[in-house]
Structure 1
Amino acid sequence: MNVCAEENSMIWRNLSAGILLLVVIIALGVYDSAQLHSYLVGIENWIAGLGFWGPVAFLGLFIILTFVFFPDSVLGATAGALFGLWLGFAVVLFGAIVVQCLVFGISRHYFQQRVQQAIDKRPKLVAIQRAANRKGFRLQFLLRLMPLNPVMVSHVLATTGTRFGVFLVACLGLIPGLFVQVYTGYAAKHMIKAAGAPGEHATIHTMLVAGGLVVCLLLMVVVTRVAQAAIVEAETEP
């Protein structure tokens, strides 16, 4: 599968983005930490005032935007900043699964011919399609671990012979990437707030949050490389 060079580039872009985020957070905190802290507190109060409808509204927005290929990484980080780590992750994971199911169903039943025509113009997508037909669940799960657009992958898989149940279970491979996205937003908010009100946040906690972000990014690099190697191996098997 001719995706190695592109995926290596995406891995390092993701890692570089995480490091850049830490630098930006520190710079913002030094520049005007008190104002940023006040702004974040105001957003938190506004979200809390929405109650149940805050996460529901964000879920709807997430589904609509990712369906039309808006970067889920941006929305994942936003969810982490707005709702915290676990609620943000739950909202994003549920939204991502819903979107993948919608894309799969619509592409398979209504636009399969058009999607196939688009796939035929891109050798990378043709390679994914052929490998998915040969390897089924194992390769689909590995594809979900890769830094590929999930909606694009779902469109491709809808043109294969895979069953919906297999497709749905394989979507669980999205969990590591989505968690890192949400954690990035959560860590960014925490560190900005810690810079604006140092007395309210233990230094060791802030260091653990920052360290956790670095660990998450490094683990994603490792997981992606392992998945990439497994996909290449599957492609070369007779």
Structure 2
Amino acid sequence: MVVAVALIGLVRTLGLADLVRLENLARLREWITAFGPWAPAVFVVGYVLAVVAFVPALPLTLLGGLVFGPGWGTVHVSIASTVGACLSFLIARYAARATVERWMAPYPALGRIDRAVARHGFRIVMITRLVPIFPFNLQNYAYGLTSIGFGAYAITSWLCMLPATVAFTVAAGAVATGAWDARRMLLLLGLAGVLLVALSLLPRWLRGRSAALDDLLKAG
């Protein structure tokens, strides 16, 4: 955990976050590809560090599709994003709680997560992953300060992040390969869309069944 915290500081200090931008995707693609058989490992480790260091994940998600194609891109991105979210959670819970609490200070609304989790558990993770109430990277750390179990957090986060992961990597992979079967691309995008819509309706259903969403949205 101490090493992870040190790596966060290194990423921020060296300004590596500035390289992870949409306009640099071609450059990043060449750099990752140059690692040959080690490219997947380098990509996953880099993605995890990016998530932990508050670097926007969308460019890296698209990069996964560009480098590895729709199938393996989805696998690598899903693994990396979930591991990154879990590592942030563990850092907040066990290694740097005081530091994370200072990070949370400018966002008093995040304090509602703790109270809501105490009442509604994993459903709050589902809601905040599907509804952009709070920044994704901050959520990862915020949940580490709550009472939610690690297993429930990890599984719910993975499931609720998966539809967007599929959609973005499939789209980027299709652009990269060009000759990839268009019907297969549309099928996977359609399935991802259906799953995303289904998951996005869950908060509304939950709101009708409980006060979970109200606990997050109400003032105070």
Global fold match (TM > 0.5)? yes
Counterpart for residue 4 of structure 2: none
- Equivalent position to 1:226, from 174, 177, 201: 201
Q: Which amino acid aligns with 2:157?
A: C
Deviation of 1:146 (Å) = 3.4
Alignment of 1:1-238 (within 5 A): 47=33, 50-147=35-132, 149-172=135-158, 173-190=160-177, 193=178, 205-206=181-182, 209=185, 213=189, 216=192, 220=196, 222-223=197-198, 225-230=200-205, 232=207, 233-236=211-214
Q: Indicate conservation of the 8 Å contact 2:170/2:189, yes or no.
A: yes
Structure 2 vs 1, CA of residues 62 and 85 (structure 1 numbering), >3 Å: closer, same or farther? Answer: same
Q: Indicate conservation of the 8 Å contact 1:104/1:155, yes or no.
A: yes
Q: Which amino acid aligns with 2:144?
A: A
**Residues 129-176 of structure 1: CA deviation (Å, up to 9, x unaligned):** 321222112222332333454331111111111122222222222211
Structure 2 vs 1, CA of residues 236 and 50 (structure 1 numbering), >3 Å: closer, same or farther? Answer: closer
Q: Indicate conservation of the 8 Å contact 1:76/1:182, yes or no.
A: yes
Q: Indicate conservation of the 8 Å contact 1:81/1:189, yes or no.
A: yes
Q: Indicate conservation of the 8 Å contact 1:145/1:176, yes or no.
A: no
Q: Indicate conservation of the 8 Å contact 2:123/2:212, yes or no.
A: no
Q: Indicate conservation of the 8 Å contact 2:203/2:213, yes or no.
A: no
Give TM-score, length-normalised by structure 1.
0.63
Q: Indicate conservation of the 8 Å contact 1:183/1:213, yes or no.
A: yes
Deviation of 1:118 (Å) = 3.6
Partner of 2:146: helix, strand, or coil? coil
Q: Which amino acid aligns with 2:86?
A: C
Query: In 1, Cα distance between the equivalents of 2:154 and 2:187?
Result: 33
Q: Which amino acid aligns with 1:53?
A: W
Q: Which amino acid aligns with 1:229?
A: R
Query: In 2, Cα distance between the equivalents of 1:116 and 1:223?
Result: 34
Deviation of 1:106 (Å) = 1.1
Structure 2 vs 1, CA of residues 231 and 111 (structure 1 numbering), >3 Å: closer, same or farther? Answer: farther
Structure 2 vs 1, CA of residues 116 and 179 (structure 1 numbering), >3 Å: closer, same or farther? Answer: same
Deviation of 1:96 (Å) = 1.4
- Structure with the greater relative contact order (CA < 8 A, sep ≥ 6): 1 or 2? 1
Partner of 2:54: helix, strand, or coil? coil
Q: Indicate conservation of the 8 Å contact 2:125/2:153, yes or no.
A: yes
CA RMSD of aligned residues (A): 3.1
Deviation of 1:218 (Å) = 7.4
Q: Highest CA radius of gyration, 1 or 2?
A: 1
Q: Which amino acid aligns with 1:142?
A: I
Number of residue pairs aligned between Structure 1 and Structure 2? 182
Counterpart for residue 28 of structure 1: none
